[in-house]
Structure 1
Amino acid sequence: MHERGSTSRRTLLAATAATALAAGSFPARADGPGKPDTGQPGTREIARLLARMSIEEKVGQLFVMRVYGHSATAPDQADIDANLKEIGVRTAAELIAKYHVGGIIYFAWAHNTRDPQQIAALSNGIQRAGLAGPTPVPLLISTDQEHGIVARVGKPATLLPGAMALGAGGSRAGAREAARIAGRELAAMGINQNYAPVADVNVNPANPVIGVRSFGADPEAVARLVAAQVSGYQHGGVVATAKHFPGHGDTVDDSHTSLPTIHHTREQWEELDAPPFRAAIAAGIDCVMTAHIVVPALDPSGDPATLSRPVLTGILREELGYEGVVVTDSLGMAGVRQQYGDDRVPVLALKAGADQLLNPPDLALARNAVLKAVRDGELTEERIDASVLRILTLKARRGLFREPYVSPGDVARTVGRRSHLLAADRIAEGTTTLLVNEGRLLPLSRRRQPGLLVVGADPASPTGTTGPPTAVLAAALNELGFSASALSTGTAPTQARIDEAVAAAAGKDAVVVATYNVSAGSSQRTLVAALAATGVPVVQVAIRNPYDIARLTGVTASLATYSWTDVELRAAARVIAGRAGPTGRLPVPVQRADDPAQVLYPIGYGLTY
């Protein structure tokens, strides 16, 4: 039995939410999940709803929380145990009843995203729990579905090229279509908020956390694609979230594990970091996510932006004119926990100007701290009301009071539909970038170069892959008429593995080598050099960051795919085989490894056939 329930029950539950907002005040969604809402909600009805809420309910609306389990009411025992240990409740329904949270975030590791029908049933169960409270309010259900290397929902959902691949494609229409498809499929599963697009401008090749999650290093190009994706997601029926304000693109530290500092001047910030956020706001972005980074030029206090009133209120609200919802990045990340305790962080974030508090490590502690701050006068109830009004208005604008539930039929018709899958392949074909092609080796010919060996890196597979990159590439090349075998050598191949690859290359017409973030001391360099020394032509494919070629010698051809998901590896195979042209252009510069001041391949570089 699906959690959605019967048609009559769905109608009754939806009517409960509508009644809470004075029925008739909010427009229905245009024509079902995945479609944009029309019209504007009535602020007086939202104000009346807010007036009926207790302070505990109001504070609950500020929190977006993780929860373990595939079901809102009947998760597996292991997930019940995890919920009891971390949150003090057994299920998502109990979490909502106890804390009145305004949102839930889905993770694959929390077992929320097994398959599309299960996700839809979980979403309906969560909404049912929200509408069963003393003041019925639907929830914002969110996830990180950036595509590329970050995706929480896997197949059979459509997996699309990630941001830097779309940056290489350079097509606003392609970026918009990718976001629209993603939005429609998320909406069909009841996920109504996506933490995308990434608006960071990745100007630092050493950035360990953004990298290919960014559209590129050109602020204006990034701004155009961010605006396109905002339009696509929101027309697809979900809340778009531009992240990570004020810009996480020039860090050498990861805010998950430390507190990065960006040393841009105010002028550099205006030139490099601000344009994508300005573009997102101009495009009508629903939500902006904060960054746990220090930018002394914007706030010399040393506080991370998430806790900085000069950044969130002074710049984002007052200077940029943003009036929508502000959500923090996860409050469980080290970048926001180094200077203050977990009880102070949520209070300081609200004082800075945040509205939603994402995934605190200890929900009870965080909630009680906010309630205490209200009782003590550190936070006024009017300040809480301002954030809750924004959150409720967003929920109404996205149609959640009118249509909080999704149907199994919509899931089946929408998620992974053939037209979406074909569009993903078509968009990916425009992203593969050719950097080197000595002697016009590419495209390979099935008649002249039938025997191929595919070797190389096998990083942990992101959602959306069917196996190691070597196996996926080999299978795709075999489907195109080659005879390809695969040998995974890993991201740090041993000498024994390198010797095995060299032996396997004997008699082959070409070797395709998948490389992954090659560093100065990486044994991937030794692998590539050893294969090149055999005299067999080497086709190197950078399957994450496109900078690998700067540290490699002896390759005959070099491609960049910006991710090792199936859709991008299949596109690379078609380019190698000549079934598609390499039309992608570098969205970031590739600098010399021994002299970063010198650029080997500039932004916009890319060879063609």
Structure 2
Amino acid sequence: MSKRVARLLPLLTTAVLAASSLTWPADPIRAADTALAPPAATGIPPVSDAETGWVMKTLHQMTLEEKVGQLFTTRVYGETADTTDPAAVQMNRSFLGVDNAAQAVVRYHLGGFVYFAYAGNTRSPEQVAGLSNGIQQVAVTQPSRVPLLLSTDQEQGAVVRLGPPATQFPGNMALGAGRNVDDAGTAARITGQELRAVGINQDLAPVADVNVNPANPVIGVRSFGEDPTLAADMVAAQVASYQDAGVAATVKHFPGHGDTAVDSHSGLPVISHSRAELDRIDLPPFRAAITRGVDAIMTAHIVVPALDPSGDPATLSHPIITGLLREELGYDGVVVTDSLGMAGVRKKYGDARVPVLALKAGVDMLVNPPVMQVAYDAVRDSVRNGELPESRIDESVTRILRLKWRRGMVAAPFVDPAAVSRTVGTQDHLAAAQRISDRTTTLLRTDAATLPIPAGRRVLVTGWDDPAAPATTQALGAALGRHGLATDVLSTGVNPSAARIDAAVAAARQHDTTVVLTNRATGDVGQQRMVAALAAAGVPLVVVAVRDPYDVTAFPDVSTYLAAYAFNDVAMNSLAGVLTGAIPPAGRLPVTIPDPARPGAALFPYGAGLSTP
């Protein structure tokens, strides 16, 4: 071991000196056109002497407190590592007991942070790069000199933390509708390159859940669809592409969150699949990810009686995490929890017990505990009192350190803020995103008198939108205008009132065609009433689901219906192209849409989709 350490010391010295002086590489991210290159070879890379030497040397020198800190990744408020913004400081004090990220690193010896838009972490790419560098500067000057995992949920589509100018894609179910594995890989590679350019070295993606339940309130379009083989192929392609871009992929939510009608953020779902069903439906994408050498797997706060009859959620289940994931599936990478602040993991045990039980189950990294000090003290004290042997902590810290080495965080913990614009949101990336999106829109019903909409027609775009920032209806209106249509926009927000519905109907009567957007309308009476009122008015009507395609079950009599799967600009550009006949509706349903009038029957089967308007 001493020879290995001796060989490693020059590399360590170089890395530490680079960190302390904030010396930038010329361009840490490859040129944008390499986004379309094929993924790297699959599988887990061999362990090098340099990796083993650094990991063992670092682990040996760490105190118990430093080891415990490596197990935690948590959110933090503020745009900079040393923020003094009063609002951010107040939030950090209540959650972390410190003022900012820099103080949290020193106090808890953290393993990582998770960036969120609501926490003020992702205002712009350059700001994110500065935040990342500031955090890593503090980390590499601590006694252990271990850089941090800086992660976020950049799933694309419905779940995005880093918005424009970063490249936006339509999301997993849209990719499933496109049926193109290469497109899935390209989307992940571009996303990974842009994240790495701003210092985010772990993406909490892709979602590997197989969405077989139309009533699923938390997965839906975040899934590639209901076909396990399609999901497995897409997941494997994205894992390879993220990691080829230098970003740790994190597939979620093990052992599968696709068949539930309960949101684990607010309740504790129970998955009733038999072991045979789990093997056939839920586990194939995770097996594929493991074969590709995925860096991390996130647990689900779900009860799976077929795997563990105790009633414990998977996150806290030794039979599921150690028995199934570690021993049966042979996974020895990093296992991370979903947020420990979610109700699904807090229903049965107190906040001081949850992190300890997760570690006993076989988890490595504990994400977003409700109160950091409580969770940290609980884990440290469990080692001191003998409940958790320090060797168990060492196992997890070793896995975390290996991940940090393999993704280049030790050799290059910093990014160059001046180089961000050469990677994030480049024209090549944006063009690739639009090409991919154009292959995903699905046409399920059409009236020849309605589509395609010819140039010169007066079109009203109305329906669902974010009430705080009605960007989706505006984006579609602008896109239709670029196709030569005279377009007016009337956003009705979420669950429109009777007055808003009346206004939409009156406006529709003044236009040749009305396009109404819906979002999870099956659970929204206002949206249902609005579509019904527009249909009753007898105006030429096009209904488009901009999230889950199941909305059509609420409108059985609508004659023209499309699924866009996403509500961002790139999806609206594609939708406009389909509505005007400029591009064909190439997407095919990646899920079955059930017929509410005939239990067990399909209103639209898996693979449905019309080729022309």
Specify the TM-score bucket, using the shorter chain as the normaliser.
over 0.9
Alignment check: 8 A CA contact 1:13 1:131 kept: no
Which amino acid in the other structure matches residue 580 of structure 1? I
Q: Is the 8 A contact 1:14 1:403 kept in 2?
A: no
1:538 has 2:541 as partner? yes
Give the Cα–Cα distance (whole angstroms) in 1 for the partners of residues 26 and 439 of structure 2: 32
Of the structure 1 ranges 69-78 and 178-187, higher mean CA displacement relative to structure 2 is found in 69-78
Give the equivalent residue in structure 2 for 1:359: 368
Q: Could you say if the C-alpha distance between residues 75 and 193 of structure 1 is closer, same or farther in structure 2, counting changes exceeding 3 Å?
A: farther
Q: Which residue of 2 aligns with 1:513?
A: 516
SS of the aligned residue for 1:142 comes to strand
Q: Say yes or no: does 1:33 pair with 2:40.
A: no
Matched, 1:599 2:602: yes
Partner of 1:95: 104
Unaligned 5+ runs, structure 1: 1-10, 21-28
Q: What is the Cα deviation at residue 553 of structure 1?
A: 4.1
**8 Å Cα contact 1:14/1:404 also seen in 2:** no
Paired AA for residue 479 in structure 2: A
Question: What's 2:502 paired with?
Answer: 499
Quickly say closer, same or farther: Cα 1:353–1:331, change in 2 above 3 A.
same
Residue equivalent to 1:26:
none
Query: Unaligned 5+ residue runs, structure 2?
Result: 1-10, 35-39
Q: 1:406 aligns with which of 407, 415, 425?
A: 415
Question: How many Å apart are 1:30 and its aligned residue?
Answer: 13
Measure the CA separation in 1 of the matches of 2:411 and 2:79.
25
Aligned to 1:588: 591
**Which residue of structure 1 aligns with residue 577 of structure 2?**
574
Q: Contact 2:19/2:414 (CA < 8 Å) preserved in 1?
A: no
CA distance in 1, matches of 2:229, 2:592: 15
**Residue in 2 that maps onto 1:264:** 273
* Contact 2:505/2:533, CA 8 A, preserved across alignment: yes
Matched residues in 2 for 1:487 and 1:13: separation?
61
Q: 1:280: Cα distance to partner?
A: 0.7
Q: 1:382 to 1:19 in 2, by over 3 A?
A: farther
Which residue in 2 is equivalent to 1:231? 240
Q: Is 1:299–1:311's contact at 8 Å kept on the other side of the alignment? A: yes
Determine if the alignment matches structure 1 residue 436 to structure 2 residue 436: no
What is the deviation of 1:521?
6.7
**CA offset at residue 326 of structure 1?**
0.3
| 1:140 corresponds to which of 110, 132, 149 | 149
* Alignment partner, residue 455 of structure 1: 462
Matched, 1:558 2:596: no
Q: Report the equivalent of 2:185.
A: 176
Cα distance in 2 between the residues matched to 1:123 and 1:40: 27
Deviation at 1:19, TM superposition (A): 11
Q: Is the contact between residue 140 and residue 193 of structure 1 (CA under 8 Å) also seen in structure 2?
A: yes
Aligned residue runs from structure 1 range 174-573, under 5 A: 174-439=183-448, 441-447=450-456, 450-459=457-466, 467-519=470-522, 522-573=525-576
Aligned with 2:297: secondary structure?
strand
1:16 aligned partner:
16
TM-score, structure 2 as length reference: 0.92
Cα distance, 1:75–1:595 mapped onto 2, change above 3 Å = farther
The TM-score, its normalising length taken from structure 1, stands at 0.93
Label 1:514 to 1:51 Cα distance change in 2 as closer, same or farther (>3 A).
same
Percent of matched pairs sharing the same residue: 55
- State the shift of 1:498 in Å: 2.0
Residues 166-209 of structure 1: per-residue CA shift (max 9 Å, x gap): 11111100000000000000000000000000000010011111
2:611 paired residue number: 608
Instruction: Give the drift of 1:408.
Output: 1.6
Equivalent of 1:105 in 105, 114, 117: 114
Give the residue type in structure 2 aligned to 1:380: P
Give CA-to-partner distance per residue, 1:549-601, whole Å, 9 cap, x none: 12214433111011111111111111111111100000011111233411011
Aligned counterpart, 1:24: none
Q: Show CA shifts across 1:305-348 (max 9, x none).
A: 00000000000011111110000001111111111111110000
Are the aligned partners of 1:285 and 1:324 in contact in 2 as well (CA < 8 Å)?
yes
- Inter-CA distance 346–17: structure 2 relative to 1 (3 Å threshold): farther
How many angstroms apart in 1 are the aligned matches of 2:94 and 2:61? Answer: 33
Letter in 1 for 2:16: T
Q: What code does the residue aligned with 2:15 have?
A: A
- Cα pair 1:537 1:556 within 8 Å, conserved: no
Letter of the 1:168 counterpart: A
Is the Cα contact below 8 Å between 1:13 and 1:128 reproduced in 2?
no
Correspondence for 1:76: 85
Deviation digits for residues 235-260 of structure 1, max 9, x if unmatched?
12100000000000111111111111
